[in-house]
Structure 1
């Protein structure tokens, strides 16, 4: 029997402008950073992936590919050994593949509702297509973060997932999975609004997401939504509400079953304690989060949103946030450098946030020149287009002017913001 083509990988490559040769070069470079030895992939290797002849790349190669794309291998259409394909691929020609993958969900619902047609059977292949779209939303968020377009796209996809509930017959498992998909998209819309400081919109998405998660019965997505809610209230300066919401996430059964979920809940709890100026709570919960992460089995199955972002770098990022809020700037700087040394390449938004927080920690310790150099390294597009980063950099500028008024460092910063951040004509 002929191998089934990996149309998911093909669609991702088309979306991101990669040829077989350019993707091979990118993965080889990532392999070099991982192992110290450049990989030996070429265009024919990638074509074997696309043709389905290689269904599950070797572990180091797979990790390098995940670093390049920001997505787990299963979200790119690869199938672990011993498992069947997650999504039966369509058989259209090359020019149709991307449209089939990214437009099939809405088209299926519309076709099912058309007069004179028999109700179709909604199955796990429809759910898998939604999950592929969700992986794309996650990857876009890590590249750009906080953008209104990401929020709107995720909300639209949540509605498409709900439309499928009425598009035909389905088993209870499929219906629960569709509610989980809708909750996942709505939680991403919520997170984009939080990241963009659009808190009223975030609360609306939160209420929708919570109801959908309850109907799905999915513990992982319930955790994500309540954990995001805690983060939202932390950013709003409401630590009591943040602790209450985060406690809902931490008390879910999934945190007792999987130490990685427990670790994330504790790490975010530590950041909330920092805002509340609870020094003992900050230190204790961060240490517990680190211990839980070390106990987590990396081989356990976890959802794509967790795999895409939570690791040692993110744990140190939350430690940086906690100790910066607490005013322990030396410890904050320590966690900033640890985070930056371990960040995966696709975490572009996180890189900008961590760099900006590092600049604040350095300035608070009296290192104005070093802090300014750090702040100036934040890419201009992120500095001007990401609401959270923009706000932190404005606060940095105000603190710099208060710390070293009239200095050459202030002049350098002023010229940098005027020349580099000027809106394009």
Structure 2
């Protein structure tokens, strides 16, 4: 019988921004957490799933995939052995209900252990860690769609607290406890980034301090890198390049950047953006060349944390180059990087698309191409224009620059009407 494509899995992967290789990496990581041994899946394994050549993966693989996705295997289109694909499947669990159950279960377990008179101690294991990591993947996906939202920040902070509460809800090995601290640090770093993206810098600093302490307790080099790299980005957005460089240097000094070229490339690309703010052309170009070289040396099959593999690639490198050259006033080069970024940007990176499009409009306007710049700015979605603080501010700055350059032009009037009608906030 010919294999039937697993369209449910394909749809889920597209929705959550997974390629075959990145999903294989994520499942391998979950397998390692669950079994203590890294999985041997690769992109071809996932392609076999999508093509229907493998209709029911091995039990450990299914468990790892369910941990990553937060869904039962049947909801992802897999068919148990002995069941026809046309036979009615078991009722699928509602994903939102499943997520609520996971949160409620963890909280209830913590309360039960803390309550006096309850006999027995719960054993916390890697499966609990895996469930938290699946929630972290959801936070990452929300950030790439919406970015900067207070709700994302609050949700991530609450999940960090949940991970810490789990520490006190039972007994666990040191390895599991380190992983729980790593989960809490990951969530707190996402809360930090959401606050940075929303220009809530005082809140971002508070999250940063908690995240740094948790990362030290976890011993996780990858999450340490993320936190310090975010700190560098925060100070860059605040216009404080000296502090930004100092923070980013801490991230770049971690040994993970010597072990993995992808971490090295991200650190160098963000360093270039900081040099742009500092108006240092020579160091900007050198850092970008080094970032590109490191990215070219990267092995795409190596396992990396979901927060990194979900966003850093050639498009993000071009986005950071765009930011740097805008700051330097090299608008033609900036425009070139903007076009290259948009051409390769993954579909789930909606927040990045809005930011890059807005920066492209600025680069075009600075070159005197008023009509093209305005047409570009009008492509930004209403949601991003009205709900993302960083995008909203850049568009306000665009409008001010347009009115200063061509105050009585028909193009300026078109822009005014567009912002009044198309981007009017909904009640």
TM over 0.5: yes
Deviation at 1:132, TM superposition (A): 0.3
Task: State the secondary structure of the residue aligned to 1:309.
Answer: coil
Distance 1:238 1:167 in 2: 42
Count matched residues: 370
Distance 2:170 2:103 in 1: 20
Residue in 1 that maps onto 2:48? none
Deviation at 1:119, TM superposition (A): 1.3
Residue in 1 that maps onto 2:226? 224
Residue in 1 that maps onto 2:153? 151
Residue in 1 that maps onto 2:263? 261
Distance 2:248 2:382 in 1: 33
Distance 1:358 1:122 in 2: 49
The CA RMSD over aligned residues, in Å, is: 2.3
Q: Check if 1:175 corresponds to 2:177.
A: yes
Deviation at 1:255, TM superposition (A): 0.1
* 1:83-137 deviations in Å (ceiling 9; x for gaps): 7543678899735644434543323323332331311000000000000000000
Task: State the secondary structure of the residue aligned to 1:372.
Answer: helix
Q: Write out aligned runs for 1:337-416 (5 A).
A: 337-416=339-418
Q: Check if 1:73 corresponds to 2:73.
A: no
- Where does the alignment leave 5 or more consecutive residues of structure 1 unmatched? 1-39, 50-60
Distance 2:416 2:340 in 1: 29
Distance 1:299 1:423 in 2: 43
Q: Write out aligned runs for 1:208-219 (5 A).
A: 208-219=210-221
Distance 2:196 2:381 in 1: 21
Task: State the secondary structure of the residue aligned to 1:288.
Answer: helix
* 1:285-327 deviations in Å (ceiling 9; x for gaps): 0010000000011111100100110000000000000000110
Residue in 2 that maps onto 1:113? 114
Deviation at 1:170, TM superposition (A): 0.5
Asked whether the 8 Å contact 1:90–1:97 carries over to 2, the reply is no
> Aligned to 2:167, which of 148, 152, 165?
165
Residue in 2 that maps onto 1:54? none
Deviation at 1:81, TM superposition (A): 4.6
TM-aligned CA distance change 1:102 to 1:73, over 3 Å: farther
TM-aligned CA distance change 1:235 to 1:383, over 3 Å: same
* 1:345-398 deviations in Å (ceiling 9; x for gaps): 000000000000000000000000000000000001110000000000000000
Residue in 2 that maps onto 1:28? none
Distance 1:180 1:364 in 2: 44
Q: Write out aligned runs for 1:119-134 (5 A).
A: 119-134=121-136
Residue in 2 that maps onto 1:9? none
Task: State the secondary structure of the residue aligned to 2:139.
Answer: helix
Distance 2:389 2:27 in 1: 30
TM-aligned CA distance change 1:41 to 1:310, over 3 Å: farther
Distance 1:324 1:65 in 2: 36
Task: State the secondary structure of the residue aligned to 2:400.
Answer: helix
Distance 1:381 1:148 in 2: 15
Residue in 1 that maps onto 2:46? none
Asked whether the 8 Å contact 1:105–1:130 carries over to 2, the reply is no
Q: Write out aligned runs for 1:163-312 (5 A).
A: 163-312=165-314
* 1:60-83 deviations in Å (ceiling 9; x for gaps): x6xx86443124426589965567
* 1:255-308 deviations in Å (ceiling 9; x for gaps): 000000000000000000000000000000001000000001111110010011
Task: State the secondary structure of the residue aligned to 1:145.
Answer: coil
